[in-house]
Chain A
Amino acid sequence: MTVTAEAPFVRLENIIKNYGAVRALGGVELTFNSGECVGLVGHNGAGKSTLMQVLAGNVQPDGGELSVLGQNESMSYGVQRALELGVRCVFQELSLCPNLTVVENTRIRHPSITGFGWRKRASLLIRSFLDDIFPGNSIAVDDLVADLTLGQRQMVEIATVFAKTTSSLRLVILDEPTSSLDHAIAGQLLAYVRRFVTEGGCVILISHILGEILSTCDRIVVMGDGRVVEERPAARFTKHSLVEAMGHVNHAPQAHQPETVVKARTAPVVAEIQPPRRGSMTLTARKGEIIGLGGLAGQGQTTLLVLLQRSAGRHISFARCSGPVAFVAGDRQTDGVFPLWSIGQNITIRSLGTMRRFGLIDPKKEREMERRWKERMAIRTPDMANNIYTLSGGNQQKALFARALASDAEIILMDDPMRGVDIGTKQEVYHIIRSEAAKGRTFIWYTTEFEELTSCDYVYVLRDGAIVSEMPRSEITEAKVLQSSFEEVAQ
């Protein structure tokens, strides 16, 4: 790396972004220079993706300064401006149109390909870049994207981003680019990234495969809680020091709960699941236990919970649940609340079956349940007949908990329900979960926050849909969970 006197390609100063009460980015300071590859790592919710969305112009930061080549661009920065400046991004969720062919998708990414004969030009362009980046690929450019495999789609996505037309290409953001590529193809991509960087481009590489980051990048930035916590040349990191740097993100070590005594696992097994076609490890939950599901976000935890729910009262070969099940959704908007209903109705829906009188719902019993759970969960509202959206996010989540706890369910599945909930509410809910578990209910709890795992009796870590490690409460440490979450370190 030669040190140049000119201004860095992109400089970020004190970038802030809030989503409601949640601080996604809390003052990020970073520079990206031409001719270098920067690795960006961090645990779930560290703010990596949000930061990249800011760089790509999709998200407007709430504060801070973004300058490109020494020019302050904060005022006018957006998708268009980012494209003009030569900033492009391969997003984690693919951004190809499945109903179009590879050639047509290239056209969408490159506005300059237009007019008579555009099809031929787009076809030549994408063909040459596909063959340049991934020699020996078997992708036909006239194929519909929907007909390609996931890996091939990722290759097409990468090739369309690197394809150069009239506009310049200065900075490419690769967000988990190798997640669906096999080893050899991933190697081809990383080799191409190095070539691109040598020719003066800049690449930001986000990946949870640490070996990749260490071998490809010049500099590695570790993020946590919306800030940069560590920044060093890649050569001064090892896999272990990298994992450690990510672990330090977490706030002061928590005071241990008094009841850290490990319960012997003797109670009867109430739920059991083995992820289909993914490894041989099995999850077992016993009566009265709180089971934690850890690992990086989106490694199959939610799928596991959904499968468990489906297995209740039905025969499925991978999973077994004895007793009624309730599900606490994490994504309130899509599968949690009934937006047009009152708070009370949102709570009682799961239990209407038990409140019938002559086949109709008994309003007295319904009000009774609403009142009881308003008190029990301390839901802050003057009237349970108000619409659910009059509540704050945390209180909506409490209502969803109440829905599950008020029901006859013996097994309660939780899909990262504390996302974006304030700390006070969390404490209240933890307390209720513990007391309900003591009464014999079983909780299976997917969470992306390490602290929550420490209040579980037993933790399973998932990676790529498979259970990769299990540990009782006495053995749960952040380093251990992180190590199993990241591939190579675990061994």
Chain B
Amino acid sequence: MMPNLMTPRALRSLLPAISFTVLLIGIFYVQPRAMSFMGLNLMLNLALPIALATIAQMFIITMNDIDLSLGGFVSFTACIGATLLGESPVLGVLALLACIGVYALLGALIHVRNLPSIVVTLGMSFVWLGAAILVLPTPGGQAPDWLRAIVSVKTPFVPFVIVASAIIAVGVHLFLMRSSTGVILRGAGGNPQAVARAGWSLFRAKVTLYALAGFFGVLSGLTLVGLTTSADANIALRYTLLSIAGVILGGGEFVGGRVSPIGAVLGALTLTLASSLLSFLRISGDWQIGAQGAILILVLALRTLVNRMERRK
């Protein structure tokens, strides 16, 4: 059975890919030299940690929560990556595992005490930032060599960033969208009561999702420090909003467990490319954040349009 590509539902799921392609074409039109291995590599250089952070945020949004501490968390893990992990690898790995544990605990706390995630994670964002300053008071540190080697792998024909993003997107898609466990996790966001009535534990679902978010947050911090080779306590603060924007751009919604891992990765890449396009257009840095916001509004307006088409049907 061939799915009809013109139905609103298909259009909605294709929207992230379409906006990514349109942006890419725009860049190639403005700056034809970007259409090369080197060009793509340079433009998407820092996309990988953003994509990983977006996936982390997506797990939280799956359960109708939101994580405002993600930027601080990624900064903190990057600082650990630049200090502890190189100095004493065992301790470093333990610290990172503990970070994931803290995320799982946060999920447990939010579920058991029925707290709003937005408040808990807002508080945690200061905790992570403070911890990052304690670990690395002044910018610096040194990423371990093996980490730098991993993130600067050269793949033939297609830049590593794109290969890695594709692997992440497909891997998470298989887990969250296709596996029988993923169904329970998404169902817990869609209709928690129904899932509980069917005999599943919402507590376990929430802890799992938060732990997964922690895991991908750690990966994001490590790839970031691998790419930049040194860290700084404020290195990833803007990731909080970038990751939320990425999820939404990728077709996710704040409520109802509607998320898409492939869309989220595409959303993260789109946001990264957007700043390149703006540079090519010689729009000054002062205006770039505003212009990124404009792109976000444009895509969301398109989605609303598709949704409206669907309702009229």
Q: In the bound complex, how far is the Cα of B184 from the Cα of A118, in angstroms?
A: 13
Q: In the bound complex, how far is the Cα of B180 from the Cα of A115, in angstroms?
A: 7
Q: In the bound complex, how far is the Cα of B179 from the Cα of A113, in angstroms?
A: 11
- Taking a contact as CB atoms under 8 Å apart, the answer to whether A147 and B257 are in contact is no
Chain A binder among B144-152, B196-204, B234-242, B288-296:
B196-204
- Taking a contact as CB atoms under 8 Å apart, the answer to whether B197 and A95 are in contact is yes
Q: A108 and B194 in contact (CB under 8 A), knowing A97-B187, A118-B180?
A: yes
Q: Does A188 contact B (CB under 8 A)?
A: no
- Choose one: A80, A99, A144; the contact of B189 (CB below 8 Å): A99
Q: In the bound complex, how far is the Cα of B193 from the Cα of A94, in angstroms?
A: 10
- Taking a contact as CB atoms under 8 Å apart, the answer to whether A108 and B183 are in contact is yes
Q: Does B122 contact A (CB under 8 A)?
A: no
- Taking a contact as CB atoms under 8 Å apart, the answer to whether B180 and A96 are in contact is no
Enumerate chain A residues within 8 angstroms of B257, measured Cβ to Cβ.
97, 99-100
Q: In the bound complex, how far is the Cα of B88 from the Cα of A404, in angstroms?
A: 69
Q: In the bound complex, how far is the Cα of B195 from the Cα of A80, in angstroms?
A: 12
Whole-angstrom distance between the Cβ of A132 and the nearest chain B Cβ: 21
- Taking a contact as CB atoms under 8 Å apart, the answer to whether B256 and A99 are in contact is yes
Q: A114 and B258 in contact (CB under 8 A), knowing A95-B194, A97-B186, A100-B186?
A: no
Enumerate chain A residues within 8 angstroms of B180, measured Cβ to Cβ.
107, 113-115, 118
Enumerate chain A residues within 8 angstroms of B196, measured Cβ to Cβ.
79
Whole-angstrom distance between the Cβ of A454 and the nearest chain B Cβ: 37
Enumerate chain B residues within 8 angstroms of A99, measured Cβ to Cβ.
186-187, 189-190, 256-258
Q: A108 and B9 in contact (CB under 8 A), knowing A99-B186, A99-B189, A100-B190?
A: no
Closest residue to B257 on the A side, CB-wise?
A99
For chain A, which range describes its interface: under 10, 10 to 19, 20 to 34, or 35 or more residues? 20 to 34
- Taking a contact as CB atoms under 8 Å apart, the answer to whether A80 and B199 are in contact is yes
Q: Does A200 contact B (CB under 8 A)?
A: no
Enumerate chain A residues within 8 angstroms of B282, measured Cβ to Cβ.
none
Main secondary structure on B side of the interface with A: helix
Q: Does A109 contact B (CB under 8 A)?
A: yes
Enumerate chain B residues within 8 angstroms of A105, measured Cβ to Cβ.
187
Among residues 70 to 114 in chain A, which have CB atoms less than 8 Å away from a CB atom of chain B? 79-80, 83, 89, 91, 94-100, 104-105, 107-109, 111, 113-114
Q: Does A56 contact B (CB under 8 A)?
A: yes
Q: A97 and B195 in contact (CB under 8 A), knowing A104-B187, A105-B187, A108-B183?
A: yes
Q: Does B191 contact A (CB under 8 A)?
A: yes
Q: A108 and B200 in contact (CB under 8 A), knowing A99-B186, A99-B190?
A: yes
Q: A109 and B190 in contact (CB under 8 A), knowing A98-B256, A99-B257, A147-B9?
A: no
Q: A58 and B187 in contact (CB under 8 A), knowing A98-B256, A99-B256?
A: no
- Taking a contact as CB atoms under 8 Å apart, the answer to whether A98 and B190 are in contact is yes
- Choose one: B184, B189, B191, B258; the contact of A95 (CB below 8 Å): B191
Enumerate chain A residues within 8 angstroms of B190, measured Cβ to Cβ.
97-100
Whole-angstrom distance between the Cβ of A343 and the nearest chain B Cβ: 25
Enumerate chain A residues within 8 angstroms of B197, measured Cβ to Cβ.
56, 58, 79, 89, 91, 95
How many chain B residues touch A (CB < 8 A): the figure is 21
Instruction: Name, among B183, B191, B196, the residue most crowded by chain A CB atoms within 10 Å (CB to CB).
Output: B183
Enumerate chain A residues within 8 angstroms of B9, measured Cβ to Cβ.
144, 147
Whole-angstrom distance between the Cβ of B52 and the nearest chain A Cβ: 24
- Taking a contact as CB atoms under 8 Å apart, the answer to whether B258 and A109 are in contact is no
- A to B contact number (C-beta, < 8 Å): 65
Q: Does A119 contact B (CB under 8 A)?
A: yes
Q: In the bound complex, how far is the Cα of B195 from the Cα of A79, in angstroms?
A: 11
Q: In the bound complex, how far is the Cα of B194 from the Cα of A105, in angstroms?
A: 10
Whole-angstrom distance between the Cβ of B225 and the nearest chain A Cβ: 36
- Choose one: A95, A104, A144, A147; the contact of B183 (CB below 8 Å): A104
Q: In the bound complex, how far is the Cα of B196 from the Cα of A79, in angstroms?
A: 9
User: Contact flags (1/0) for A109-144 with B, using CB distance below 8 Å?
Assistant: 101011100110000000000000000000000001
- Taking a contact as CB atoms under 8 Å apart, the answer to whether B178 and A100 are in contact is no
Enumerate chain A residues within 8 angstroms of B187, measured Cβ to Cβ.
97, 99-100, 104-105, 108
Q: In the bound complex, how far is the Cα of B256 from the Cα of A254, in angstroms?
A: 48
Closest residue to B179 on the A side, CB-wise?
A118
Enumerate chain A residues within 8 angstroms of B199, measured Cβ to Cβ.
79-80, 83, 111
Q: In the bound complex, how far is the Cα of B193 from the Cα of A59, in angstroms?
A: 13
Enumerate chain B residues within 8 angstroms of A56, measured Cβ to Cβ.
197
- Taking a contact as CB atoms under 8 Å apart, the answer to whether A95 and B186 are in contact is no
Closest residue to B255 on the A side, CB-wise?
A99
Q: In the bound complex, how far is the Cα of B120 from the Cα of A262, in angstroms?
A: 60
Whole-angstrom distance between the Cβ of B259 and the nearest chain A Cβ: 9
Whole-angstrom distance between the Cβ of A344 and the nearest chain B Cβ: 28
User: Contact flags (1/0) for B154-198 with A, using CB distance below 8 Å?
Assistant: 000000000000000000000000101001101101110111111
Q: In the bound complex, how far is the Cα of B136 from the Cα of A299, in angstroms?
A: 63
Enumerate chain B residues within 8 angstroms of A89, measured Cβ to Cβ.
197
Enumerate chain B residues within 8 angstroms of A96, measured Cβ to Cβ.
191, 194
Q: In the bound complex, how far is the Cα of B182 from the Cα of A108, in angstroms?
A: 10
Closest residue to A106 on the B side, CB-wise?
B183
- Taking a contact as CB atoms under 8 Å apart, the answer to whether B256 and A107 are in contact is no
Q: In the bound complex, how far is the Cα of B181 from the Cα of A114, in angstroms?
A: 8
Closest residue to B193 on the A side, CB-wise?
A95
Q: In the bound complex, how far is the Cα of B197 from the Cα of A105, in angstroms?
A: 13
Q: In the bound complex, how far is the Cα of B197 from the Cα of A111, in angstroms?
A: 12
Whole-angstrom distance between the Cβ of A334 and the nearest chain B Cβ: 16
Q: In the bound complex, how far is the Cα of B149 from the Cα of A468, in angstroms?
A: 77
Q: In the bound complex, how far is the Cα of B58 from the Cα of A282, in angstroms?
A: 50
Enumerate chain A residues within 8 angstroms of B198, measured Cβ to Cβ.
83, 95, 108-109, 111
Residues of B within 8 A of A (CB): 9, 178, 180, 183-184, 186-187, 189-191, 193-200, 256-258
**What are 14 A-B contacts with C-beta separation under 8 Å?**
A80-B199, A83-B198, A89-B197, A95-B191, A95-B193, A96-B194, A97-B194, A104-B183, A104-B187, A107-B183, A108-B183, A111-B198, A119-B178, A144-B9
Q: A99-B190, A100-B190, A108-B195 are in contact. List 7 more A-B contacts (CB 8 A).
A: A79-B196, A95-B197, A95-B198, A100-B186, A108-B194, A109-B198, A118-B180
